Amino acid sequence: MEEKKSLWKRITGSREASLVLILVVMLILVECIQYFGGNGHFLSPTNIGQIFRNNALTMLMALGMLCVLLTAGIDISITSTLAFAGMIVGMLQKNDVCHNTFLLFLIAALIGLACGFLNGLIIAKGHIAPIIVTMGFMYIWRGLAYVVSGNQWASGADVAQFAEFGKDGSAGPYIILIAAYVIFFIVLKWTTYGRRIYAVGSNMEAASVSGINVDKILVSVYMIMGLLAGLSGALSVSIYASAQPNMQYGKEMDVIAACVIGGVSMNGGRGSVVGTFLGALFYAVLAKALPLVGLDSIWQNLIKGIVVLAVVLINTLTQRAMDRAALERREM
Amino acid sequence: MAGKSGRTISIEPKKGKFFRWETGLIFIFIAVMIFGTIVSPSFNIKSVFMNMPKYLAEMFMMYAMGYILIIAEIDISVGAIVCLAATMACFANNAGLPFGLQVIICIGIGTLCGILNGAILTHFTELPSMIVTLGTQIIFRGIAEVSMGSGGSISLTDTKAYAALGGSIGIVPIAFILIIVTALIFIFVLSKTTAGRKLYAIGSNHTTALYSGIKVQKVRMICFVLIGTMAGVCALFLLATSFGANTTTGQGFEMDVISMCVFGGIATTGGKGNLVGATIAGFTIVLLKIVLSLLNVSGQTILVVIGILLIVSVLIPSINQALTNKKKKAALAKA
């Protein structure tokens, strides 16, 4: 019995579509409050630019986290990797070793890649729970960031030239973001490698039996995550024009939350680049909109937490309803 | 990952084995102690006890976290619960409530948070505890932030009772005595009672446990409420040394506590490990922190040491396993 799905069903059935719907409703609401409150447009180019710039790190790392979550893993060492790579980049400039923006980004990315490789190697070859391994490295890289810093900060004057790349109005962060999202979209959707990641996450044993080198995929996924975390380290120094060993402390949970809102399953095999983008964007818009509608910044975390939990719970309820409907149809 | 079905329910490692995890831990503990006496002239039992209360508070949660990990769950909201409970205790203190009531509020808030976690997890059984506690973590800290207002911190006005709580009987800190009592109770329940065995059964195989008549959801609920309560106790002892709370209070505690458990030989995949190991591991880390602080090493350097300890401690059993598998294969090939 084939019947055309109604538009409503199609929207509520697809995670991406319902997220777009919620986002649009939220944007219109905030825009209305802003505009009729006499405060100009919310959706001005400056505001939109800031939304992306302020959350560039979360958005970038969410891509790597998507890959990791797709293999049913998790990586909580990312912000430590970020701090470690960022701190090295900062110290290289403070001590006048290197001031070449491209070279510094390359160094940060390579450091991240190496960190990720270690993570992946131990997880894949040692068969140890990813959360434990990455927790260990979370401590190690964060501690090393402090050691590298020698209790000093690299401040605005030290990184002045480097900060040109990420300063307000510069196209740098946007280019990196767009490039990363396009590449990941293509790779995850249309390449063998991308499909293999999904295969490993859906059923590791089946993937292994069908000839996929599971260990290799696992290591590569954590390397990608590390690479993005390293890049984010350099980007963070560039955007905020300072390098401190405690930067982005605890923000790994924001990255995971963005993925979860975007419909990425923590059991692996489920999630998409579009969903991740929407999840991260949702999180970002929320952070920007709350102060504008009159809620103090101290309310942000509470609202964010409620949203994350609500999204997760609603998702479970709809999933249950869908399962029940499918069962009923089968019984007919 | 696969292979879960083949696990046996046993807390005791095979007898007659050359290497037991707890033995190794004791050696590490002694090594840290020797290291301390060599490098620091001020390292003696008195200075250790004097510095101890600052680091002990986390250990209260370690035992409950051990239970949670053994049933193959995880709770990353405990740090935020500590923050919220400490904040509320400060408010109660500033309102001039009697100390007993403050204690009840502090521990009660922790318990309430635990009940919330447990209720969500038992009603939505398909959700992983990681996601749920990730959400509640942000919420709990958010509530604390909102109630602290724009200043972002709050301190006790009447510190007398708390100072007494952070004090010591003779040279032994009160916190230390209570930790030992807690340890004994938790270890006894885990290894000598049916309740404890149920935890292992659930952690080893959730479905089998359910079919053999264990009320899995009830046990999960109790465990999550328990860790909330212990987080409240932790907040109380944290206040006894810090006399205040701010938005970063308790940040990273969840990871510290989990790493103590894992370092003590508890597997996050459930059904494995015991709290004796975790206790020794916890004290080793506390001792290490004290030694490094006596040496005036910056507090952050210890992160590297803890991280390396953690990774090495999870790698050793895995390498061990790989070696035995190889031997078995070789033996099979011969036969």
- Mind listing the pLDDT tens digit for each residue in B85-105? 999 999 998 888 888 899 999
The tokens describing A159, both together, are 């990184």
Cβ atoms within 10 Å of A164's Cβ, excluding its own: 13
Identify residue A311 by its one-letter amino acid code: V
Closest residue to A128, CB basis, from B126, B137, B314: B314
Question: Is the CB of A302 less than 8 angstroms away from the CB of B251?
Answer: no
A99 vs A136: CA distance, rounded Å: 32
B140 vs A42: CA distance, rounded Å: 30
B334, exposed or middle or buried, with CB in 10 Å at 0-12, 13-18, 19+? exposed
Interface test with chain A among B134, B313, B319, by most A beta carbons within 10 Å: B134
Alpha carbon of A297: minimum distance to chain B alpha carbons (Å): 9
Cβ atoms within 10 Å of B95's Cβ, excluding its own: 11
Question: Is the CB of A126 less than 8 angstroms away from the CB of B124?
Answer: no
Q: Report the predicted TM-score, pTM, of the whole model to 2 decimal places.
A: 0.86
Higher local confidence (pLDDT), A24 or B335? A24
Centroid of chain to Cα B119: 21
Question: What number is the average pLDDT over the span A84-96?
Answer: 88
Interface test with chain B among A127, A135, A267, by most B beta carbons within 10 Å: A135
Interface test with chain B among A139, A204, A259, A316, by most B beta carbons within 10 Å: A139
Closest residue to A136, CB basis, from B135, B137, B307: B307
Cβ–Cβ under 8 Å, residues B126 and A272: no
What one-character DSSP code corresponds to residue A241?
A: S
Question: CA torsion, points B178, B180, B182, B186, in degrees to nearest 10?
Answer: 180
Question: Is the CB of B134 less than 8 angstroms away from the CB of A122?
Answer: no
Is the pLDDT at A304 greater than 50? The verdict is yes
Interface test with chain A among B69, B125, B138, B313, by most A beta carbons within 10 Å: B138
Alpha carbon of B308: minimum distance to chain A alpha carbons (Å): 7
The tokens describing A264, both together, are 């990425």
Higher local confidence (pLDDT), B50 or A57? A57
Question: CA torsion, points A284, A289, A290, A294, in degrees to nearest 10?
Answer: 170
B74: nearest Cα among B229, B257, B278: B257
Is the pLDDT at B239 greater than 70? The verdict is yes
Query: Among all residues of chain A, which has the CA nearest to that of B297?
Result: A147
Look at phi and psi of residue A40 and say left if phi exceeds 0, alpha if psi is from -120 to 50, else beta. Answer: left
Q: What is the pLDDT of residue A13?
A: 62
Closest residue to B258, CB basis, from A135, A245, A313: A135
Q: What is the pLDDT of residue A242?
A: 84
The CA distances from residue A15 to A74, B126, B239, B298, in Å, are: 21, 18, 44, 47
Alpha carbon of B148: minimum distance to chain A alpha carbons (Å): 9
Cβ–Cβ under 8 Å, residues A57 and A270: no
Cβ–Cβ under 8 Å, residues A207 and A92: no
Instruction: State residue A5 phi and psi, 5-degree precision.
Output: -70, 140
- Domains of chain B by range and CATH? 51-322 (1.10.3470)
Which residues from chain B sit within 8 angstroms of residue A128, using beta carbons? 314-315, 318
B268, exposed or middle or buried, with CB in 10 Å at 0-12, 13-18, 19+? buried
pLDDT tier for residue A127 given thresholds of 50, 70 and 90: confident
Interface test with chain B among A80, A81, A119, A128, by most B beta carbons within 10 Å: A128
CB-side neighbour CA atoms (13 Å) of B275: 29
B303 vs B259: CA distance, rounded Å: 11
Is the pLDDT at A78 greater than 90? The verdict is yes
pLDDT tier for residue B1 given thresholds of 50, 70 and 90: very low
Which residues from chain A sit within 8 angstroms of residue B298, using beta carbons? 146, 151
Place of tokens 């001020």: B42
B156: nearest Cα among B54, B244, B92: B244
Q: What is the pLDDT of residue B24?
A: 82
B54 vs A170: CA distance, rounded Å: 47
Interface of A with B in 21-40 (CB under 8 A): none
Interface test with chain A among B251, B302, B311, B326, by most A beta carbons within 10 Å: B311
Is the pLDDT at A95 greater than 50? The verdict is yes
Question: What number is the average pLDDT over the span A189-202?
Answer: 91
Question: Is the CB of A305 less than 8 angstroms away from the CB of B252?
Answer: no
Question: What number is the average pLDDT over the span B309-334?
Answer: 83
pLDDT tier for residue A10 given thresholds of 50, 70 and 90: low
| β-strand pairing of B172-173 with B168-169 | antiparallel
A78 vs A99: CA distance, rounded Å: 25
A325 interface with B at CB cutoff 8 Å: no
A313 interface with B at CB cutoff 8 Å: yes
Is the pLDDT at A21 greater than 90? The verdict is no
What one-character DSSP code corresponds to residue A243?
A: B
Counted residue by residue, chain A has a size of: 332
Question: What number is the average pLDDT over the span B17-28?
Answer: 76
Cβ atoms within 10 Å of B87's Cβ, excluding its own: 30
Is the pLDDT at B47 greater than 60? The verdict is yes
Question: What number is the average pLDDT over the span B222-235?
Answer: 94
Identify residue A215 by its one-letter amino acid code: D
Question: CA torsion, points A11, A12, A15, A21, in degrees to nearest 10?
Answer: 60
Question: What number is the average pLDDT over the span A311-332?
Answer: 82
Higher local confidence (pLDDT), A204 or B302? A204
CB-side neighbour CA atoms (13 Å) of B278: 34
Is the pLDDT at A167 greater than 60? The verdict is yes
Identify residue B306 by its one-letter amino acid code: I
Host H or E run for residue A76: none
A30 vs A45: CA distance, rounded Å: 15
Closest residue to B300, CB basis, from A132, A146, A296: A146
Q: What is the mean pLDDT of chain B?
A: 85
Which residues from chain B sit within 8 angstroms of residue A260, using beta carbons? 131, 134
Cβ atoms within 10 Å of A153's Cβ, excluding its own: 17
A229 vs A67: CA distance, rounded Å: 13
- Mind listing the pLDDT tens digit for each residue in A138-150? 989 999 998 888 8
- Mind listing the pLDDT tens digit for each residue in B258-283? 988 988 888 888 888 888 989 999 99
pLDDT tier for residue A11 given thresholds of 50, 70 and 90: low
Question: Is the CB of A205 less than 8 angstroms away from the CB of B318?
Answer: no
Q: Which of A4-8, A121-125, A324-328 has the lowest mean pLDDT?
A: A4-8
Is the pLDDT at B2 greater than 50? The verdict is no
pLDDT tier for residue B304 given thresholds of 50, 70 and 90: confident
Higher local confidence (pLDDT), A33 or B308? B308
A214 interface with B at CB cutoff 8 Å: no
B118 vs B98: CA distance, rounded Å: 30
Higher local confidence (pLDDT), B188 or B4? B188
Which residues from chain B sit within 8 angstroms of residue A136, using beta carbons? 259, 307-308, 310-311, 314
Interface of A with B in 138-177 (CB under 8 A): 138-144, 146-147, 151
Question: Is the CB of B132 less than 8 angstroms away from the CB of A309?
Answer: yes
The tokens describing A181, both together, are 């999202």
Q: What is the mean pLDDT of chain A?
A: 85
Percent of chain B with pLDDT over 70: 94
Q: Kindly give, in sequence order, each residue whose CB lies less than 8 Å from that of residue B131, ignoring residues fewer than 6 positions away.
A: A260, A266, A312
Interface of A with B in 255-274 (CB under 8 A): 256-257, 260, 266-267
The tokens describing A29, both together, are 């609401």
Q: Which of A107-116, A206-215, B308-317 has the lowest mean pLDDT?
A: B308-317
Which residues from chain B sit within 8 angstroms of residue A141, using beta carbons? 307
Question: Is the CB of A316 less than 8 angstroms away from the CB of B127?
Answer: yes
The tokens describing B104, both together, are 């009840």
Question: Is the CB of A74 less than 8 angstroms away from the CB of B130?
Answer: yes
The tokens describing A8, both together, are 């409503």
| Three-class secondary structure of residue A154 per DSSP | strand
Q: SS3 sequence, B250-266?
A: CCCHHHHHHHHHHHCCC
Alpha carbon of B258: minimum distance to chain A alpha carbons (Å): 9
Please provide the DSSP assignment of A193-226 as one string: HHHHHHHHHH-HHHHHHTT--HHHHHHHHHHHHH
Question: What number is the average pLDDT over the span A142-161?
Answer: 82
Q: SS3 sequence, B146-185?
A: HHHCCCCEEECCCCHHHHHHCCEECCEEHHHHHHHHHHHH
Place of tokens 């508070």: B57
Cβ–Cβ under 8 Å, residues A313 and A228: no
Question: What number is the average pLDDT over the span A280-301?
Answer: 81
Interface A:B, Cβ pairs < 8 A: 147
Q: What is the pLDDT of residue A81?
A: 94
Q: What is the pLDDT of residue A193?
A: 92
A71 vs A269: CA distance, rounded Å: 6
Alpha carbon of B214: minimum distance to chain A alpha carbons (Å): 25
The angle, 0 to 180 degrees and rounded to 10, between the axes of the packed helices A273-292 and A300-331 is 140
Question: CA torsion, points B47, B51, B55, B57, in degrees to nearest 10?
Answer: 110
What one-character DSSP code corresponds to residue B13?
A: P
Question: What number is the average pLDDT over the span B24-29?
Answer: 86
